[in-house]
Structure 1
Amino acid sequence: MNRPYSGIWPVAPTPFNPDGTLELEGMKRVLDCMIDQGSDGICILANFSEQFLISDAERETLSRLCIEHVAGRVPVIVTISHFATEIAVQRAQFVKDLGAAMVMMMAPYHGALMKGTPKQTFEQFKAVGDVGLPIMVQDAPLSGVELPVPLLVQMAQEIEMVKLFKIECAGVAPKLRALIAAGGDAIEGPFDGEEGITLLADLDAGATGGMTSAMIPDQIKPVIEKHLAGDREGATAAYARVLPAINHENRLCGFRSAKAAMVEGGVIKSDFCRHPIYPLHPEIRSGLMDLLRPLDPLVLNWGK
């Protein structure tokens, strides 16, 4: 089967100054660090970029800065999710004009109760697809919208630009397996998400890539590369090595983990998160560093 998309495509954190303003020079350093980490692509303005804490004007500033600074070194994927189809289309056109390689989007939702039906979801993805950028479908619990395999397959087969699928709902591996079996070559990029917490099982199910945080992509990349090369034993060993840190991130830290590691390694100056997000508890942060240091990831040394 044709699977042109693979590798590690982490989400870039958004650095803020201690007063809550965007730290734009820090954003450039984040991107440079991620490229040095071996990222095959970089996603911006995603949930792990704190997109829900960023204004529309800041989105434009960050989109322009990131795409210009990366300057084609790796593909830049921009998250454009919005409940309003017209706004999602406008966001897609804006980043296409800037030179983005791809967009990522969740199904339309707003709050806990306003959720797109399968028909509305298909129509929104079709409208964004008409802009002409490849789309990664983000099947995320945050949206609260169920995206059954038949709907995902229909979008892949009937919307030319729907090519990639970041599956991070409960039971990722069986869903990936069913999606690939039903969708065939139309599923050009089956990806794992959620920090890689089930990465090995998802690779066994047919995933060709992962979208993790920017904390340790250099340490997670070998898992994917070894598995795709047929070395499952090597992939298992590489995964077992990093899993405690991934578990700590997934269960206790979320998007704050990459920023904490980047502060520790001198990539950025502050791991400030906008209210109502609270900073990591000092013991949780210390525990994360205790798990990261034996791995000797690039992030802890990049800025020193």
Structure 2
Amino acid sequence: MTQQAWRGVFPVVPTIFDDAGRLDLDGQRRAVDFMIDAGSHGLAILANFSEQFALSDDERNTVQKTVLEHVAGRVPVIVTTTHFSSDVCAARSRAAQDAGAAMVMVMPPYHGATIRVSERGIHEFYRRVSDAIDIPIMIQDAPVSGTTLSAAFLARLAKEIGNVSYFKIECPQAAAKLRELIELGGDAIAGPWDGEEAITLLPDLDAGATGTMTGGGYPDGIRRIYDAYMAGDADTAAALYQQWLPLINYENRQTGLAACKVLMKEGGVIASDALRHPLAPVHPATREGLLKVARRLEPLVLRWGR
């Protein structure tokens, strides 16, 4: 493969709704502009933290078109194209490539709590997706799929399927899995990444992660940690991580995907922090707890739109 190796901080862009639950495309564009201004190396759209599971196909297409046209090549954009059907996922991935995506991110096929696919089926699934496109595929290895993907199996996928070369590892003991994946996969692993709101960022960087896909509320804070580490200043990276960890933890354990929108609304980036029903709004006390932690750090999000 000759594609550029993408590295760095690629936060997930939230899907912006108005208070009635309709797409807010002006707010969507403002969210993207803030995230680029905050130092994101790239962006990810239509991920689980984007509430992709609550969007219609037409809405997915609208968000994809709106974001990619508005970004206009300023940063690379990863588009999540996950679907249970191999052919639907392949078609989504081709459409994302044609629209300007730098990469697609795909979970293994699963449905509900019990419908899973064998390793052979997963291999064939990613083969079909790869055959449909010319850009890299990032496999998302996360508990939500309920699918066990061993490091050995992931390394085999990287070696045997041309476009499979990036891996977002956000399962328990992610650092150990990253180390094993890098050891087994060698040059076939173009991008060992982590995720899960950066809650395991430092050990994952120690294990060899070259990218991280976090929430979108404070890319400037994550950049400070990442940049210090990549510059070889592990002590500064650790100190910065300790400084930002309360906010990272609050997002990871208390508010989840709502954190980004709460911060963006507070800072005037977007008009509404609504989640799509049936997701419940954040409790007012939890919202204030998040903002209290964030205000101590003065992230760009709290002043960008003021």
Which residues in structure 2 correspond to 1:65-84 (within 5 Å)? 65-84=66-85
Separation (CA, whole Å) in 2 of partners of 1:199 and 1:48: 18
Separation (CA, whole Å) in 2 of partners of 1:185 and 1:65: 35
**Could you tell me which residue of structure 1 aligns to residue 105 of structure 2?**
104
Which residues in structure 2 correspond to 1:147-226 (within 5 Å)? 147-226=149-228
User: Does 2:51 align with 1:54?
Assistant: no
The RMSD of aligned alpha carbons is 1.1
Separation (CA, whole Å) in 2 of partners of 1:177 and 1:24: 40
**Could you tell me which residue of structure 2 aligns to residue 243 of structure 1?**
245
CA deviations on 1:201-241 (whole Å, 9 max, x unpaired) are 11111111110010111101121121122111111011001
Separation (CA, whole Å) in 1 of partners of 2:180 and 2:96: 32
Separation (CA, whole Å) in 1 of partners of 2:176 and 2:294: 30
Of 273, 276, 281, 1:274 maps to: 276
Q: CA deviation at 1:267?
A: 0.5
**Could you tell me which residue of structure 2 aligns to residue 113 of structure 1?**
114
Farther-moved stretch of structure 1 (143-152 vs 125-134): 125-134
Q: CA deviation at 1:97?
A: 1.1
Equivalent AA in structure 1 for residue 89 of structure 2: A
Separation (CA, whole Å) in 2 of partners of 1:9 and 1:129: 22
**Uncovered stretches (5+) of structure 1, i.e. residues with no partner:** none
Of 127, 134, 137, 1:135 maps to: 137
Separation (CA, whole Å) in 2 of partners of 1:164 and 1:171: 18
Retained in 1: the 8 A contact 2:178–2:209?
yes
Give SS of 1:110's match: coil
Please report the TM-score for the alignment, with normalisation by the length of structure 1: 0.98
**Could you tell me which residue of structure 1 aligns to residue 265 of structure 2?**
263
Equivalent AA in structure 2 for residue 283 of structure 1: A
Farther-moved stretch of structure 1 (220-229 vs 135-144): 220-229
Separation (CA, whole Å) in 1 of partners of 2:191 and 2:224: 18
Retained in 2: the 8 A contact 1:208–1:224?
no
Give SS of 1:164's match: strand
Of 211, 234, 251, 1:232 maps to: 234
Give SS of 2:60's match: helix
Farther-moved stretch of structure 1 (218-227 vs 190-199): 218-227
Retained in 1: the 8 A contact 2:202–2:238?
yes
Please report the TM-score for the alignment, with normalisation by the length of structure 2: 0.97
**Could you tell me which residue of structure 2 aligns to residue 146 of structure 1?**
148
CA deviations on 1:255-283 (whole Å, 9 max, x unpaired) are 00000000000000001111111000111
Retained in 1: the 8 A contact 2:21–2:277?
no
Equivalent AA in structure 2 for residue 278 of structure 1: A
**Could you tell me which residue of structure 2 aligns to residue 26 of structure 1?**
27
Separation (CA, whole Å) in 1 of partners of 2:298 and 2:192: 29
**Uncovered stretches (5+) of structure 2, i.e. residues with no partner:** none
Separation (CA, whole Å) in 1 of partners of 2:8 and 2:157: 23
Equivalent AA in structure 2 for residue 16 of structure 1: F
Retained in 1: the 8 A contact 2:105–2:139?
yes
Separation (CA, whole Å) in 1 of partners of 2:148 and 2:24: 36
Separation (CA, whole Å) in 1 of partners of 2:206 and 2:192: 12
Q: CA deviation at 1:115?
A: 1.1
**Could you tell me which residue of structure 1 aligns to residue 292 of structure 2?**
290
CA deviations on 1:188-209 (whole Å, 9 max, x unpaired) are 1111100000100111111111
Moved over 4 A (4+): none
Identical-residue share of aligned pairs (%)? 52
**Could you tell me which residue of structure 2 aligns to residue 13 of structure 1?**
14
Q: CA deviation at 1:183?
A: 0.9
Q: CA deviation at 1:4?
A: 2.8
Q: CA deviation at 1:163?
A: 1.4
Separation (CA, whole Å) in 2 of partners of 1:203 and 1:116: 31
Give SS of 2:14's match: coil
